[in-house]
Amino acid sequence: MKEYLTYLIVFVLLFVVELVYFRIADRFNIIDKPNERSSHTRVVLRGGGIIFGLGLWVWSAFFGFQYPWLLAAMTLAAGVSFIDDIHSLPDSIRLVAQFVAMGLLLLQLDMWHWSLWWVIPLALIVCVGATNIYNFMDGINGITGGYSLAVLLPLFLTNKHFHFIDESLLVVIALAVLVFCLFNYRTKAKCFAGDVGSVGIAFILLFCIGKLVMQTGDVTWLLFLIVYGVDGCLTIIHRIMLHENLGNAHRKHAYQLMANELHLRHVLVSTIYAALQLSVSLIMVYAIPDTVAAHWRYLIAVVIVLAAVYALFMKKYYHLHEEYLKNLE
């Protein structure tokens, strides 16, 4: 009972902190103005996702500073992203900050050993790439909050078996995401996550998955991020084929076509992504034999199916986006 009361206090505290941030954002004009590349049409407060990082700080204050390097890593990456939300920074500064922060995260995962020297560069590249894909996917109401909950729930269930992380961390971060969803996972959003939110929650989720990978020696648990991974990677490949500058804003993700060209409600599209990721993850947790070989077979099968669905979807509907681009000229 005492534990539930603590969680209730944390939820109320996070809710109040989010409201205080709204006052600050409104006072200093921290807003997101729509443009021709946006999927929204009204001015909305930016940076509401700051609650994810603050949630990690609140958890540390209530349950002990168990992961100081994670706290430092998330604060560095999210802090630079918050500055970028207010005043645009060069890509080089953001990338350097992310690589340094990811190095701190790997330190928290106890990966800085000579025996793992060949893994560290690969892990840095993969994790920084995953962080940016998580950021790229934050473009419509509810998608970051809904998808993050769809990642946290399987982590929570898996933790019941492997006990790879303090359960209270998963609960408190889920509460922070729920607070954000109250203001974002709806037709008329009160706020957007901003880079501070999408980058912050990406670091936290990657740390949690990293803990699971390190304890089990099974990298296939990255499947908990596979829907974003397939959409993000294939969209990047598509843009490279179109000879586009990857640093420029765009509306070519599958979820963006669904929301913009097919005019599906943002909340519906976000729910589809969250439900798809949750389904894939729960099958992994409950239906796939607990062996590395079986996990790899399942991962490969999921990637093939998702890639095929993505390709068929783009083949059928991408022409609508091309028509939209022509109308801008």
The pLDDT of residue 327 is above 90: no
Q: Which ranges constitute the DSSP H helices of the chain?
A: 2-27, 50-63, 68-86, 91-108, 119-136, 143-162, 167-184, 194-216, 226-241, 254-256, 266-286, 292-328
The pLDDT of residue 42 is above 70: no
Predicted local distance difference test score (pLDDT) of residue 83:
96
Rounded to the nearest angstrom, the gap between the alpha carbon of residue 5 and the centroid of all alpha carbons in its chain is 28
Predicted local distance difference test score (pLDDT) of residue 326:
86
Domain boundaries defined on the chain:
2-328
Q: Which ranges constitute the DSSP H helices of 28-67?
A: 50-63
What pLDDT, in 10s, does the model give residues 205-239?
999 999 999 999 999 999 999 999 999 999 999 99
Q: What percent of the chain has pLDDT over 90?
A: 88
Lowest average pLDDT, out of 176-185, 240-249, 280-289, 314-323, goes to 240-249
What distance in Å separates the CA atoms of residue 9 and residue 16, rounded to the nearest whole number? Answer: 11
| pTM of the predicted structure, to 2 decimals | 0.95
The pLDDT of residue 85 is above 60: yes
